[in-house]
Each structure stands twice: as C-alpha cells, then as structure tokens.
Amino acid sequence: MLGETRVAAGGAVGERWARTDARAKVRGELLYAADQPLRPCLDVVVHRSTRPHALIGSVDTERAMAVDGVVAVVTGAQLYKLFGNALMTGPAFSDQPCLAVDRVRYIGEPVAAVLARGLAPARTAADEIEVDYTELEPVHDVDLAVAGGPYVHDVLRPSVVFGDLKHLRGKRDTNVNYEYTLRRGDVAEAAAAEGGRTVHEEFWCPPTHHVPIELPFTAAWRDGDRLEILSATQTPSYVRQSVADLLGIPLNAVRVRSAPLGGSFGAKMYDRLEPLAAVLAWTQRTAVRITASREEAFLLTTRHGAAVTGSMTADKDGRIVAATADVRYDTGAYADVGPRITAKSGMVATGPYRVENVDVRSRCVYTNKPSAGPFRGFGVPQVTWSHESLVDELARECGVDPAEFRRRNLLREGDVAPVGTPMHSADFAGCLDAVTEAVGWDTPLQREEGRLRRGRGVAVGVKAVLTPTIANAVLQLNQDASATLLISTVDMGQGSDTIMAQIAAEALCLGEGQVRVVAADTDVTPYDTITAGSRSTYHTGNAVRRAADAMRDKLLELAAERFGVAVTDVKLTGDGLVSAENQQKVSIPELLHGHFGARGTTLTTEANFTTSWVPYDHETGQSERVTEHWFAGAVAVQLTVDTATGRVHVEHLAVAGDVGRAINPKLVEQQLTGAAIMGVGHALFDQMVFDEGQIVNGTLLDYQLPSVLDVPDKITPIIVESPHRSGPYGAKGVGETTIIPLAPAIANAVRDAIGIRFPRLPLTPERILTALAEQEAGA
C-alpha cells in the first residue's frame, strides 16, 4: 500500500488540535443547512396520518388549496402516477414512499404535502386536508408481528444500493423482513455438560430517539434538467443515488450538498426529507424547503426497540462454553436499514467472549410504528444489554468477581470470534483493566449510607465496523502551501474536519489551520459510503492518508528534479524540502511556483480506500473476514440507589475505548464522554412511549435527555491504543464505542447495590421502587 510503511513526517497526529469549527460554533457564526442563504423557496408542510394502519380512500384538498398563500397540494397517489414503484425508496428494501400512496402504516405518516409561500399558510392548509380512511387491523407488538398477520407490507421489495445487502430477497405474508442466524458448535450439548451453570433471561430495550439539537432540514430546487439539494444529511453520496433512481436521471444531474450538522447520531441518514423535497421540486419545477419541527423529528426515525431472549452457560471451571440470543428488532413501518442492523448486531450478540457453541437468531420485524433506523451503536447496544447482563449473572452464579470472570473469557488478539473472524486491535482486557482500576474496583465500598445503597458494575462491548465500504479523497495542495481536502465525510460534531486535516497534515508536515476540509458536495467531493458507524477515521482517513502520501511523493519528485538528485535523497520537513546529498533547500511555495511558473496554482492527488469482506454464510452466519476491524470498549461505574425514591445517582463513570491510535486525544475523549452521557440517558429514563401506535411523549417537554445535573459526579475517559495494522497511523473510529456497554454497566451496578436484576430498560425510579417493594414482600 502506498506510503504506509514510511515513518510519519510529523507534528500533527496525536496532537490536541482545536476543532476547526470551534470558534465559529461558539460565536454562532457557523452556518447550518437551514441558515444558508438560498433562492426563494416554497415551504412544505405535510398532512400526517391519524391512523396506525388504514387504507386511504379519498384525500380532500379543496379547503387546503383555498388557504391564502398555498401554491399546490400534492398527494401520494398523484406522485405514484408519475413515478410508479420508483417512488418507493430505502437502503435495504424499496418500501417507503415519501407520501403514503394507498395505505398508511403508522400514526404520523405523511399523506399529502402542501407547498405555500411561508410556513404559516402551509401549516394552516395541512390542517385543512381531510382524509377518508378504511381502518385495517394494526400490529404494535414485535412478538405479535413475528407470530403472524396483520401484515404491514404485502410484498417485500429489496433495493440494491449497498454491497452488504445484495442478498436480500422479496417475500410475502410475513412481517419478518430479514433474518440472520449465527451457529457454531452444539449449544445443547455444551449446556448439558456436568457441573455447568446456565443463566437465561428475557430482555427488552425500548425505542428511543436521537434528539440532535439541529432539526432535520432539506431544500431542493430544479435547475433545468438538474436537481440541486441542500440537506442536513450524513449520507450525501447515498442521497444522490437514491434521488437519481427516484427521478430517473443521471448521477451528474443531481447535486447534493450537506453542511455541518448540529448533531445527528444516525437521525439524518438515507431517505429522510430528501425524496419528498426532490419529487416536489422536480414535478412542480420550483424551489422548496422542508423544515421539520421538533415534534415531527420524533416521527422521522427512531432507535429500534428490541426484545432479546438470551442464555449463557459456563463450565465447572468458569469458562463460557455456550451462549444464545433470539433477537427481535422492531423496525416499525419501513425497514430502512434495519436488516443490516439485524445482521451486524446478530453476529456479536453473544459478546466479546471466547465461546465455542453459539446459537443466534436475529430478526427484523415490521410493526405499525414510525420507522426505526440507524442510531449510534447500530443495534449493538440492544444485544449488549443482553450479553452483559447475562455474563454478570453467570459470574455471580459461579461465585466469581464479574470483572475477573469477564477477564478470563474475553477474546484476545488472534482469537477467533464466534462469527468466525479473527480478532485484531481490539484490546477488551486492556479496556476492562483501565476502567476497573479507575473506579477502584478492588477497594472497599461503603455499601449503605442512610437510605442509599451503593454498588459497582462493569460491562464490555464489541462491534464490527461496517464492511465492505468505500472512501475517496482528493487533496489539492495550493502554491502557498495551504491545502484543500475534498471528501464527502460530514462533520456533525464528531470533529471529522479536524481529524482529517491532521491526517493530511501529518504526511506533508503542515501545521494547524493549513488544511481546509470542503463541505460535502457531490458535484465536487468524491463518493463516500456514509458518515456513520464510526467508520470515517479509519476509512476516509485511509483515503486521506493515501492522497497525502501521494502528494508528498509528488513534492519529492519535483524537488529531486529541481535539485538534480535522486528522489530517495530528498526529505520533506516542516521547513520545506531538503536534499541530503547537496543540502539544497526549497520551500513548498518556491517549489510549486518554480514548477508551474505562476502563483496560486494547485497540485492535486486523489486516493481510494475500499474494504472487502467474505459474505457470511446464510445458514451459519460464519465468515473468515466479516469485518475490516473491531471496536472494543468497557465501562465501569459506581453509583447509589435511593431506596426511598428509586433514583439512581452515578458517582463515577469510567469509560475506555481501544481506538488503535488517537489522532486527536482531546476529540477522542470527547467522543468517549459524549457517548457515555447519552448512554446514561438510555439506562435511566430515555424512551419513546407508544399507546396504540401513538407517540405519548413526542415533545421535549416529555421526552427527557440527561441534563447537566444528570451527568455523573466524575467521568474518566480512557484512551486505549492497540494500533490497527492498516489503520491510518494505526487509528480506528470511536463515536459509538462507549454507548455500547453503558446501560448494562449501570444495571450491573444497580444489581450489585440492591441485589435485583432489571431485564427491561430504562431503570426508572418507578421500576426500581416497585422491585424493591416486591423484594421486601418476598423476604
């Protein structure tokens, strides 16, 4: 691989550079998508279904059209006449229309769109639309949906956008749109062995919402035979393909620009507002913008609710010998990327342990709810909730300290994971050691203090990075030695613009502020699979590193020519290029000026980084190379439970992730910490509550996130570095690492404090108080 064996030139990787956008963000000067100046746009507001499952009869738009300022009202049926099945989009199945065509599948589904001059008339008119429904029986519960009808979709139609989802097949008469199985060894035999102990439990994680601060926004306008889109999206390359397919036009006729996102966590990916904005702008030959309200954002996508039936068996020596998981993901009315989540989580559903006998069944299930999609952790936190609760109970059954029990069973470098792929650069034990040491795991604990009970808990998490994927980078070195980097990675607060600048600067000996990253624009920046799943630092970072190394090689060649020496005699340093042979020196500006004979010129390189895999076997789920790399993390927590109020208070939260190599330790610590705080919410109160398909708490008055007062007394983020052999400077991503084992670590500490195992999230005071009362009654 180009340049990867060379020693780094210097000064950028491993430094705590300030975020490139920090100043603009703090001063309120950063322009998010909705802040950007645009041509005059019509505002779009949709009329939403009031039924969870119904056939659409007539849609009466007359009164809406009469509202002053309304330009057009468009229904799904009208769009279907124009686009046919191309109206149905989705990354896995082509199942979701931007406006319901003949049937609604969840309360809140868009049925008709109003285009108006101004948001207020658009809203008024949307309320005036009347829809005549014939109700169908809805299905709300994931297990009832698995068991049989009513069916949310009559026929399932796979889309063919992504390499890892090529194998999906069309089916009918089922709500299960995807099933992944993982089989290895003989679970029954292992579980029956003498002296063994088995624990099992039914777990549940409720649906949750991402709640990014910046609300979803998309604008689109038609420019002759081209369509331009400005959207708050993590996936500009996907959106371009999806919209080109939908409109039946070439990729170069669709331009998708993104902007810095004010948080996303998976909420702004794939097909959100873009298909609707695209078809309205295209068919009405106008410019439109859609601004989701906070309440509407709750309807756009959610984290999958998931039921897991799991078991784990240890032999008489305390070795984990068997594990099972039956996982049912509630994907709501549309599959979105649920099938990939189902597979990617299924393959790690037994945890980061050496287990020779595993049996996993992971299913993605339609119900009449808002569609669930990607969410930081990509379904893995839900299965981790199962395996990290089970392993904790199993340790207690075996009479072994839960941290020590895990330590004995964790996968080590070179071990083969249950899915069949060897481990590399995934130091679970190092993470576990770091967090337990940080919380003083082996020090005495004052267990009672008035009505408080104190406990400690630990959990470990594993996730496989999305594979195969594709990243590209174009690097332009300007004559003045500043650089412009063209990539389609979207900075959504994770700091990718800073990280990529550091990677590019390293090979070229550039300093802080010398590399500018261009915001994703499909007319300008090259294809990148997605900015998600913690993949950018490794994948796009590798493309950037290759482009930077190629640039350095070009500079060395130019300098060698100028000096009249061999390329191998030239070195690039912070002061420019130097010949080892004759001590000649030239700065980058002088070199490029001399080469091109003009100022302001640019030297360009480009690079691709594509990962490959061996598709998993569809019977056994096994693959010798299912993923490019692994994420490894651990969490230890000390907390108190108030036995009078049921309230949990986290005193110390230590979180660690093996990031291979920290390109920017400050940003890594912030990711470790941010994911941990989000996980505290999921552990204690974060949940979407539905009543017969209706969201009960779909506002920020009722949907609660951790406030600054919910942050643990102390958080210790710990960077573990076991370099990846092909990571850029050894690096891997980190955005999801600590959210994965967070909730079980807290539940395990609660178990330690009060002796009660909670299999359902979140651990609300009411659940805890009720369980304490039952415990007391039983005693």
What is the rounded CA–CA span in Å between residue 677 and residue 674? 5
Give least dist CB 293 to another protein, A. 7
Q: Which lies closer to another protein via its Cβ, residue 206 or residue 402?
A: 206
Residue 76, token pair as written in the block: 């799904």
What is the rounded CA–CA span in Å between residue 631 and residue 727? 13
Binding segment for another protein (CB under 8 A), chosen from 212-220, 460-468, 636-644, 735-743, is 636-644
Q: Which lies closer to another protein via its Cβ, residue 123 or residue 319?
A: 123
From 29, 186, 766, 774, residue interacting with another protein (rule: CB under 8 A): 766
Q: Which lies closer to another protein via its Cβ, residue 59 or residue 641?
A: 641
Binding segment for another protein (CB under 8 A), chosen from 28-36, 153-161, 318-326, 763-771, is 763-771
Q: Which lies closer to another protein via its Cβ, residue 4 or residue 642?
A: 642
333: number of Cβ within 10 Å: 29
Angle at 468 between CA 464 and CA 471, to 5 degrees: 110
What is the rounded CA–CA span in Å between residue 383 and residue 389? 10
In a 13 Å sphere around the CA of 238, the CA atoms on its Cβ side amount to 31
From 162, 329, 441, 685, residue interacting with another protein (rule: CB under 8 A): 685
From 1, 26, 614, 696, residue interacting with another protein (rule: CB under 8 A): 696
From the list 36, 31, 521, 43, the residue with the least C-alpha distance to 262 is: 31
Give least dist CB 284 to another protein, A. 21
What is the rounded CA–CA span in Å between residue 181 and residue 143? 18
Determine the size of the site formed for another protein (CB under 8 A).
42
Torsion sign (Cα): 771, 773, 774, 778: positive
**Binders in 86-145 for another protein, by CB under 8 A:** 118, 120-121, 123-124
What is the rounded CA–CA span in Å between residue 500 and residue 515? 9
From 68, 132, 173, 442, residue interacting with another protein (rule: CB under 8 A): 68
Give the three-state DSSP class for 672.
Answer: helix
Give least dist CB 560 to another protein, A. 60
| 8 Å CB contact between 382 and 312 | no
* Binding mask of the shown chain, residues 655 to 684, with x at each position contacting another protein by CB under 8 A: --------------------------x---
Give least dist CB 30 to another protein, A. 21
Binding segment for another protein (CB under 8 A), chosen from 35-43, 65-73, 195-203, 227-235, is 65-73
Q: Which lies closer to another protein via its Cβ, residue 67 or residue 572?
A: 67
**Binders in 637-656 for another protein, by CB under 8 A:** 640, 642, 644-647, 649
What is the rounded CA–CA span in Å between residue 110 and residue 48? 4
From 58, 134, 582, 770, residue interacting with another protein (rule: CB under 8 A): 770
Question: What DSSP line would sit under 197-263, residue for residue?
Answer: EEEEEEEEE--B----SSPPEEEEEEETTEEEEEE--S-HHHHHHHHHHHHT--GGGEEEE----S-
* Binding mask of the shown chain, residues 705 to 724, with x at each position contacting another protein by CB under 8 A: xxxxxx--x-----------
Q: Which lies closer to another protein via its Cβ, residue 152 or residue 648?
A: 648
* Binding mask of the shown chain, residues 282 to 321, with x at each position contacting another protein by CB under 8 A: -----------xxx--------------------------
Give least dist CB 261 to another protein, A. 22
50 lines the binding site for another protein (CB under 8 A)? no
Give least dist CB 683 to another protein, A. 12
Give the three-state DSSP class for 567.
Answer: helix
Q: Which lies closer to another protein via its Cβ, residue 34 or residue 578?
A: 34
Sorted by sequence, the CB contacts under 8 Å of residue 720 that are 6+ apart come out as 427, 430, 431, 434, 632, 656, 657, 658, 659
370: number of Cβ within 10 Å: 26
567 lines the binding site for another protein (CB under 8 A)? no
Sorted by sequence, the CB contacts under 8 Å of residue 196 that are 6+ apart come out as 190, 313, 314, 315, 316, 321
From 38, 161, 452, 756, residue interacting with another protein (rule: CB under 8 A): 452
What is the rounded CA–CA span in Å between residue 97 and residue 118? 25
Give least dist CB 557 to another protein, A. 58
What is the rounded CA–CA span in Å between residue 485 and residue 499? 12
From the list 656, 628, 616, 643, the residue with the least C-alpha distance to 742 is: 656
What is the rounded CA–CA span in Å between residue 211 and residue 710? 17
446 lines the binding site for another protein (CB under 8 A)? no
Q: Which lies closer to another protein via its Cβ, residue 112 or residue 588?
A: 112
Residues that bind another protein (CB under 8 A): 67-69, 118, 120-121, 123-124, 293-295, 450-452, 640, 642, 644-647, 649, 681, 685, 689, 696-697, 699, 701-702, 704-710, 713, 764-766, 769-770
